[in-house]
Amino acid sequence: MSAIRYEHIKTCKQSGARLGRVHTPHGTFETPMFMPVGTLATVKTMSPEDLHRMDAQIILSNTYHLWLRPGHEIIREAGGLHKFMNWDRPILTDSGGFQVFSLSNLRKITEEGVEFRNHLNGAKLFLKPEGAMEIQNALGSDIMMAFDECPPFQAEHDYMKKSVERTSRWAERCLEAHARPQDQGLFGIVQGGEYEDLRKQSARDLVSLDFPGYAIGGLSVGEPKDVMNRALEFTTPLLPFDKPRYLMGVGSPDSLIDGAIRGIDMFDCVLPTRIARNGTCMTSNGRLVVRNAKYARDFGPLDENCDCHVCQNYSRAYIRHLIKCEETFGFRLTTYHNLHFLLNLMVDVRQAIMEDRLLDFKEEFFEQYGFNKA
Protein backbone atom coordinates (compact mmCIF):
# COMPACT_ATOMS: atom_id res chain seq x y z
CA MET A 1 0.00 0.00 0.00
CA SER A 2 1.61 3.26 -1.05
CA ALA A 3 1.90 6.18 1.32
CA ILE A 4 0.25 8.34 -1.34
CA ARG A 5 -3.29 7.72 -2.64
CA TYR A 6 -5.20 9.68 -5.28
CA GLU A 7 -9.00 9.88 -4.81
CA HIS A 8 -10.91 11.02 -7.90
CA ILE A 9 -13.99 13.13 -7.11
CA LYS A 10 -15.27 14.26 -10.51
CA THR A 11 -14.36 15.32 -14.04
CA CYS A 12 -15.54 18.69 -15.35
CA LYS A 13 -18.02 17.97 -18.17
CA GLN A 14 -17.11 21.22 -19.93
CA SER A 15 -13.28 21.08 -19.78
CA GLY A 16 -12.18 17.54 -18.85
CA ALA A 17 -10.31 18.92 -15.80
CA ARG A 18 -10.48 16.74 -12.72
CA LEU A 19 -11.29 17.34 -9.08
CA GLY A 20 -9.57 15.06 -6.59
CA ARG A 21 -7.87 14.55 -3.27
CA VAL A 22 -4.40 13.23 -2.47
CA HIS A 23 -4.00 11.38 0.82
CA THR A 24 -0.54 11.51 2.45
CA PRO A 25 0.91 10.56 5.87
CA HIS A 26 0.68 14.25 6.88
CA GLY A 27 -2.83 14.85 5.68
CA THR A 28 -4.95 15.26 2.57
CA PHE A 29 -4.90 18.01 -0.02
CA GLU A 30 -7.51 18.83 -2.64
CA THR A 31 -6.59 19.07 -6.30
CA PRO A 32 -6.02 20.93 -8.59
CA MET A 33 -3.83 22.82 -6.15
CA PHE A 34 -0.79 25.11 -5.94
CA MET A 35 2.24 24.50 -3.65
CA PRO A 36 4.09 27.48 -2.15
CA VAL A 37 7.86 26.97 -2.56
CA GLY A 38 9.97 26.78 0.61
CA THR A 39 13.40 26.04 -0.88
CA LEU A 40 15.51 26.44 2.28
CA ALA A 41 12.89 25.06 4.72
CA THR A 42 10.95 28.33 4.72
CA VAL A 43 8.49 29.94 2.32
CA LYS A 44 10.42 33.19 2.24
CA THR A 45 9.03 35.73 4.81
CA MET A 46 6.06 33.47 5.66
CA SER A 47 5.59 31.71 9.02
CA PRO A 48 3.82 28.33 9.27
CA GLU A 49 0.98 30.28 10.93
CA ASP A 50 0.71 32.53 7.85
CA LEU A 51 0.61 29.43 5.61
CA HIS A 52 -2.08 27.81 7.75
CA ARG A 53 -4.10 31.04 7.70
CA MET A 54 -4.09 31.14 3.88
CA ASP A 55 -4.88 27.39 3.88
CA ALA A 56 -1.73 26.27 2.07
CA GLN A 57 -2.27 22.51 2.03
CA ILE A 58 1.25 21.39 1.05
CA ILE A 59 4.60 23.10 0.52
CA LEU A 60 7.67 22.25 -1.55
CA SER A 61 11.30 22.18 -0.43
CA ASN A 62 14.58 21.33 -2.12
CA THR A 63 16.94 18.38 -1.75
CA TYR A 64 19.89 20.17 -3.34
CA HIS A 65 19.64 23.33 -1.26
CA LEU A 66 19.05 21.53 2.07
CA TRP A 67 21.89 19.12 1.31
CA LEU A 68 24.23 22.11 1.02
CA ARG A 69 22.74 24.07 3.92
CA PRO A 70 22.23 23.00 6.75
CA GLY A 71 22.94 19.43 5.56
CA HIS A 72 20.42 16.58 5.61
CA GLU A 73 22.03 14.90 8.63
CA ILE A 74 21.16 17.89 10.84
CA ILE A 75 17.55 17.73 9.62
CA ARG A 76 17.49 13.96 10.20
CA GLU A 77 18.71 14.54 13.78
CA ALA A 78 16.02 17.21 14.25
CA GLY A 79 13.44 14.51 13.53
CA GLY A 80 12.92 15.37 9.85
CA LEU A 81 11.91 18.45 7.88
CA HIS A 82 8.36 18.70 9.31
CA LYS A 83 9.75 18.97 12.83
CA PHE A 84 12.72 21.13 11.83
CA MET A 85 10.51 23.81 10.24
CA ASN A 86 7.42 23.28 12.41
CA TRP A 87 5.18 22.38 9.43
CA ASP A 88 2.62 19.67 10.19
CA ARG A 89 1.01 19.32 6.74
CA PRO A 90 2.41 17.52 3.66
CA ILE A 91 5.82 18.39 2.21
CA LEU A 92 7.05 17.58 -1.29
CA THR A 93 10.78 17.70 -2.06
CA ASP A 94 12.34 18.10 -5.47
CA SER A 95 15.24 15.74 -6.09
CA GLY A 96 18.06 18.13 -6.86
CA GLY A 97 18.56 17.26 -10.51
CA PHE A 98 16.93 20.39 -11.81
CA GLN A 99 18.69 22.64 -9.31
CA VAL A 100 22.06 21.18 -10.30
CA PHE A 101 21.31 21.96 -13.95
CA SER A 102 19.87 25.39 -13.30
CA LEU A 103 22.31 26.61 -10.64
CA SER A 104 25.64 25.08 -11.50
CA ASN A 105 27.34 25.98 -14.77
CA LEU A 106 30.17 23.49 -14.49
CA ARG A 107 28.80 19.96 -14.60
CA LYS A 108 29.55 16.54 -16.04
CA ILE A 109 26.74 14.02 -16.52
CA THR A 110 27.62 10.32 -16.53
CA GLU A 111 25.56 7.17 -16.12
CA GLU A 112 26.54 7.20 -12.46
CA GLY A 113 25.30 10.73 -11.72
CA VAL A 114 26.20 14.42 -12.01
CA GLU A 115 29.46 16.10 -11.05
CA PHE A 116 29.10 19.86 -10.56
CA ARG A 117 30.27 22.81 -8.49
CA ASN A 118 28.60 24.02 -5.34
CA HIS A 119 26.92 27.28 -6.39
CA LEU A 120 27.88 28.84 -3.04
CA ASN A 121 31.62 28.16 -2.86
CA GLY A 122 32.61 26.49 -6.12
CA ALA A 123 33.61 23.21 -4.42
CA LYS A 124 33.24 20.05 -6.54
CA LEU A 125 30.18 17.95 -5.69
CA PHE A 126 28.69 14.71 -7.00
CA LEU A 127 25.01 13.77 -6.83
CA LYS A 128 23.51 10.50 -8.05
CA PRO A 129 20.10 8.84 -7.69
CA GLU A 130 21.04 6.96 -4.53
CA GLY A 131 22.30 10.19 -2.94
CA ALA A 132 19.11 12.09 -3.79
CA MET A 133 17.12 9.29 -2.13
CA GLU A 134 19.35 9.25 0.95
CA ILE A 135 18.82 12.99 1.40
CA GLN A 136 15.05 12.87 0.84
CA ASN A 137 14.68 9.88 3.19
CA ALA A 138 16.53 11.93 5.83
CA LEU A 139 14.23 14.92 5.22
CA GLY A 140 11.18 12.67 5.58
CA SER A 141 9.11 14.46 2.93
CA ASP A 142 5.73 12.90 2.14
CA ILE A 143 6.29 13.12 -1.62
CA MET A 144 9.78 12.72 -3.07
CA MET A 145 10.98 13.18 -6.63
CA ALA A 146 13.13 10.75 -8.56
CA PHE A 147 16.54 12.07 -9.64
CA ASP A 148 16.26 13.20 -13.25
CA GLU A 149 17.95 15.25 -15.92
CA CYS A 150 16.02 18.28 -17.16
CA PRO A 151 17.72 18.99 -20.52
CA PRO A 152 17.48 22.42 -22.16
CA PHE A 153 14.17 22.67 -24.02
CA GLN A 154 15.85 23.12 -27.39
CA ALA A 155 18.00 19.96 -26.97
CA GLU A 156 18.34 17.88 -30.16
CA HIS A 157 16.18 14.77 -30.46
CA ASP A 158 19.08 12.32 -30.16
CA TYR A 159 20.44 14.03 -27.02
CA MET A 160 16.93 14.15 -25.53
CA LYS A 161 16.42 10.44 -26.33
CA LYS A 162 19.65 9.45 -24.54
CA SER A 163 18.72 11.71 -21.62
CA VAL A 164 15.20 10.23 -21.32
CA GLU A 165 16.60 6.69 -21.32
CA ARG A 166 19.14 7.60 -18.63
CA THR A 167 16.47 9.36 -16.53
CA SER A 168 14.39 6.14 -16.75
CA ARG A 169 17.36 4.08 -15.54
CA TRP A 170 17.96 6.63 -12.76
CA ALA A 171 14.28 6.35 -11.77
CA GLU A 172 14.69 2.59 -11.34
CA ARG A 173 17.78 3.15 -9.19
CA CYS A 174 15.78 5.60 -7.05
CA LEU A 175 13.08 2.97 -6.46
CA GLU A 176 15.75 0.43 -5.45
CA ALA A 177 17.43 2.94 -3.11
CA HIS A 178 14.16 4.10 -1.51
CA ALA A 179 14.44 3.25 2.21
CA ARG A 180 10.89 4.21 3.32
CA PRO A 181 8.30 3.46 0.59
CA GLN A 182 5.71 2.75 3.28
CA ASP A 183 5.61 6.38 4.40
CA GLN A 184 7.15 8.39 1.59
CA GLY A 185 5.70 8.42 -1.92
CA LEU A 186 8.23 8.60 -4.76
CA PHE A 187 7.11 10.23 -8.03
CA GLY A 188 8.71 9.46 -11.37
CA ILE A 189 9.40 12.50 -13.57
CA VAL A 190 8.41 12.30 -17.24
CA GLN A 191 10.87 14.01 -19.57
CA GLY A 192 11.20 14.25 -23.36
CA GLY A 193 10.94 17.98 -24.13
CA GLU A 194 8.48 18.74 -26.94
CA TYR A 195 9.08 15.39 -28.70
CA GLU A 196 5.88 13.35 -28.56
CA ASP A 197 7.68 10.07 -29.19
CA LEU A 198 10.11 10.71 -26.32
CA ARG A 199 7.36 11.78 -23.92
CA LYS A 200 5.59 8.50 -24.79
CA GLN A 201 8.79 6.52 -24.20
CA SER A 202 9.49 8.28 -20.90
CA ALA A 203 5.90 7.82 -19.66
CA ARG A 204 5.88 4.15 -20.73
CA ASP A 205 9.16 3.46 -18.90
CA LEU A 206 8.00 5.16 -15.70
CA VAL A 207 4.45 3.79 -15.69
CA SER A 208 5.90 0.29 -15.99
CA LEU A 209 7.75 0.98 -12.71
CA ASP A 210 4.39 1.71 -11.03
CA PHE A 211 5.18 4.93 -9.11
CA PRO A 212 2.50 6.28 -6.71
CA GLY A 213 2.47 9.52 -8.69
CA TYR A 214 3.97 11.19 -11.74
CA ALA A 215 5.54 14.57 -12.36
CA ILE A 216 5.86 16.16 -15.78
CA GLY A 217 9.31 17.72 -15.93
CA GLY A 218 11.27 19.45 -18.64
CA LEU A 219 8.60 22.14 -19.09
CA SER A 220 8.36 25.74 -17.89
CA VAL A 221 12.00 26.07 -18.87
CA GLY A 222 11.55 28.98 -21.27
CA GLU A 223 9.39 27.39 -23.97
CA PRO A 224 6.35 29.33 -25.30
CA LYS A 225 3.10 28.61 -23.39
CA ASP A 226 1.39 27.06 -26.41
CA VAL A 227 4.31 24.61 -26.76
CA MET A 228 3.94 23.68 -23.08
CA ASN A 229 0.18 23.24 -23.48
CA ARG A 230 0.66 21.02 -26.54
CA ALA A 231 3.23 18.89 -24.68
CA LEU A 232 0.71 18.49 -21.85
CA GLU A 233 -2.01 17.47 -24.31
CA PHE A 234 -0.02 14.45 -25.50
CA THR A 235 1.69 13.64 -22.18
CA THR A 236 -1.04 13.74 -19.51
CA PRO A 237 -3.23 11.07 -21.19
CA LEU A 238 -0.26 8.66 -21.01
CA LEU A 239 -0.34 8.74 -17.21
CA PRO A 240 -2.52 6.50 -15.01
CA PHE A 241 -5.88 8.09 -14.20
CA ASP A 242 -5.74 6.93 -10.56
CA LYS A 243 -2.40 8.59 -9.74
CA PRO A 244 -1.60 12.28 -9.03
CA ARG A 245 -0.11 14.32 -11.89
CA TYR A 246 2.28 17.15 -11.00
CA LEU A 247 3.42 19.80 -13.48
CA MET A 248 6.75 21.10 -12.15
CA GLY A 249 7.68 24.78 -12.02
CA VAL A 250 4.35 26.19 -13.19
CA GLY A 251 2.64 28.99 -11.47
CA SER A 252 1.33 31.94 -13.50
CA PRO A 253 -2.48 32.22 -13.20
CA ASP A 254 -3.11 31.44 -16.89
CA SER A 255 -0.78 28.42 -16.87
CA LEU A 256 -2.43 27.01 -13.74
CA ILE A 257 -5.87 27.20 -15.36
CA ASP A 258 -4.61 25.82 -18.68
CA GLY A 259 -2.76 23.02 -16.85
CA ALA A 260 -5.86 22.07 -14.86
CA ILE A 261 -7.88 21.93 -18.10
CA ARG A 262 -5.27 19.47 -19.43
CA GLY A 263 -5.63 17.15 -16.44
CA ILE A 264 -2.91 18.39 -14.07
CA ASP A 265 -3.52 18.07 -10.31
CA MET A 266 -0.46 19.69 -8.70
CA PHE A 267 1.61 22.78 -9.42
CA ASP A 268 4.51 24.67 -7.85
CA CYS A 269 6.38 27.84 -8.77
CA VAL A 270 8.56 30.50 -7.17
CA LEU A 271 6.79 33.19 -9.25
CA PRO A 272 4.37 34.56 -6.61
CA THR A 273 6.99 34.77 -3.87
CA ARG A 274 9.79 35.98 -6.16
CA ILE A 275 7.85 38.85 -7.78
CA ALA A 276 6.45 39.82 -4.36
CA ARG A 277 9.97 40.62 -3.20
CA ASN A 278 10.35 43.21 -5.92
CA GLY A 279 6.93 44.72 -5.22
CA THR A 280 4.88 43.11 -7.99
CA CYS A 281 1.45 41.77 -7.02
CA MET A 282 -1.05 39.54 -8.72
CA THR A 283 -4.56 41.03 -8.59
CA SER A 284 -7.93 40.13 -10.14
CA ASN A 285 -7.32 42.98 -12.61
CA GLY A 286 -3.84 41.83 -13.60
CA ARG A 287 -0.36 42.55 -12.29
CA LEU A 288 0.16 45.63 -10.11
CA VAL A 289 3.66 47.02 -9.50
CA VAL A 290 2.94 48.62 -6.14
CA ARG A 291 6.31 50.40 -6.00
CA ASN A 292 5.17 52.67 -8.88
CA ALA A 293 4.87 56.39 -7.96
CA LYS A 294 1.19 56.43 -8.99
CA TYR A 295 0.35 54.46 -5.82
CA ALA A 296 2.04 56.95 -3.44
CA ARG A 297 -1.35 58.35 -2.35
CA ASP A 298 -3.51 55.35 -3.21
CA PHE A 299 -5.11 54.33 0.10
CA GLY A 300 -7.09 51.46 -1.38
CA PRO A 301 -6.21 47.73 -1.06
CA LEU A 302 -3.86 45.88 -3.41
CA ASP A 303 -6.95 44.16 -4.86
CA GLU A 304 -10.50 45.33 -4.05
CA ASN A 305 -11.76 41.81 -4.84
CA CYS A 306 -9.39 40.09 -2.41
CA ASP A 307 -10.48 39.03 1.09
CA CYS A 308 -6.98 38.41 2.47
CA HIS A 309 -5.97 40.19 5.68
CA VAL A 310 -3.40 42.26 3.76
CA CYS A 311 -6.10 43.70 1.51
CA GLN A 312 -8.41 44.19 4.50
CA ASN A 313 -5.88 46.13 6.59
CA TYR A 314 -3.12 47.73 4.50
CA SER A 315 -3.13 50.24 1.64
CA ARG A 316 -1.16 50.36 -1.60
CA ALA A 317 0.45 53.60 -0.35
CA TYR A 318 1.67 51.97 2.85
CA ILE A 319 2.92 48.81 1.09
CA ARG A 320 4.63 50.94 -1.58
CA HIS A 321 6.37 52.90 1.17
CA LEU A 322 7.64 49.73 2.87
CA ILE A 323 8.85 48.20 -0.41
CA LYS A 324 10.65 51.42 -1.38
CA CYS A 325 12.35 51.40 2.04
CA GLU A 326 13.22 47.69 1.64
CA GLU A 327 11.29 46.98 4.84
CA THR A 328 10.89 43.24 5.41
CA PHE A 329 7.29 43.74 6.50
CA GLY A 330 6.54 45.06 3.01
CA PHE A 331 7.79 41.80 1.46
CA ARG A 332 5.72 39.85 3.95
CA LEU A 333 2.58 41.74 2.88
CA THR A 334 3.11 41.31 -0.90
CA THR A 335 4.15 37.66 -0.46
CA TYR A 336 1.14 36.83 1.70
CA HIS A 337 -1.23 38.46 -0.78
CA ASN A 338 0.32 36.79 -3.86
CA LEU A 339 0.23 33.32 -2.31
CA HIS A 340 -3.33 33.90 -1.08
CA PHE A 341 -4.25 35.04 -4.61
CA LEU A 342 -3.00 31.82 -6.24
CA LEU A 343 -4.37 29.53 -3.52
CA ASN A 344 -7.70 31.29 -3.87
CA LEU A 345 -7.55 30.96 -7.65
CA MET A 346 -7.26 27.19 -7.17
CA VAL A 347 -10.28 27.25 -4.82
CA ASP A 348 -12.22 28.94 -7.64
CA VAL A 349 -10.86 26.43 -10.19
CA ARG A 350 -12.00 23.51 -8.01
CA GLN A 351 -15.43 25.15 -7.60
CA ALA A 352 -15.70 25.67 -11.39
CA ILE A 353 -14.87 21.98 -11.97
CA MET A 354 -17.55 21.02 -9.44
CA GLU A 355 -20.04 23.14 -11.45
CA ASP A 356 -18.82 21.84 -14.87
CA ARG A 357 -17.89 25.33 -16.00
CA LEU A 358 -14.07 25.63 -15.98
CA LEU A 359 -13.92 26.92 -19.58
CA ASP A 360 -16.42 29.67 -18.73
CA PHE A 361 -14.37 30.47 -15.61
CA LYS A 362 -11.20 30.64 -17.72
CA GLU A 363 -12.89 33.08 -20.11
CA GLU A 364 -14.09 35.34 -17.29
CA PHE A 365 -10.77 35.23 -15.41
CA PHE A 366 -8.62 35.87 -18.51
CA GLU A 367 -10.86 38.79 -19.50
CA GLN A 368 -10.66 40.48 -16.10
CA TYR A 369 -6.95 39.74 -15.55
CA GLY A 370 -6.13 41.00 -19.05
CA PHE A 371 -4.71 37.79 -20.55
CA ASN A 372 -6.89 38.24 -23.65
CA LYS A 373 -5.44 41.64 -24.46
CA ALA A 374 -3.33 41.39 -27.61
Ligand X SMILES: Nc1ccc2nc(N)nc(O)c2c1
d(CA 97, CA 104): 11
Residue 306 in the binding site for Zn ion (CB under 5 A): yes
Backbone angles phi, psi at 208, to 5 degrees: -70, -20
Binding-site partner at residue 150 among Zn ion, ligand X, none, CB < 5 to 8 Å by type: ligand X
Name the residue among 104, 62, 108, 106 with its Cα closest to residue 85.
Answer: 62
Member of 36, 38, 97, 251 binding ligand X (CB under 6 A)? 97
Residue 248 in the binding site for ligand X (CB under 6 A): yes
Closer to ligand X by Cβ: residue 41 or 189: 189
Binding-site partner at residue 97 among ligand X, Zn ion, none, CB < 5 to 8 Å by type: ligand X
Closer to Zn ion by Cβ: residue 51 or 306: 306
Asked if residue 94 lies in contact with residue 63, where contact means CB atoms within 8 angstroms, the answer is yes
Residue 138 in the binding site for Zn ion (CB under 5 A): no
Positions marked catalytic: 94, 268
Query: Minimum distance from CB of 275 to ligand X (Å)?
Result: 17
Residues paired with residue 317 on neighbouring β-strands, in sequence order: none
Query: Minimum distance from CB of 305 to ligand X (Å)?
Result: 30
Closer to Zn ion by Cβ: residue 178 or 340: 340
Binding-site partner at residue 95 among Zn ion, ligand X, none, CB < 5 to 8 Å by type: ligand X
d(CA 65, CA 61): 8
Closer to ligand X by Cβ: residue 103 or 207: 103
Backbone angles phi, psi at 372, to 5 degrees: -85, -10
Which amino acid is residue 2, in one-letter code?
A: S
Binding-site partner at residue 43 among Zn ion, ligand X, none, CB < 5 to 8 Å by type: none
Distances (CA, A) of 68 to 78, 184, 217, 270, 313: 16, 22, 23, 20, 39
d(CA 51, CA 265): 20
The residues binding ligand X (CB under 6 A) are 94-95, 97-98, 145, 148, 150, 189, 217-221, 248-249
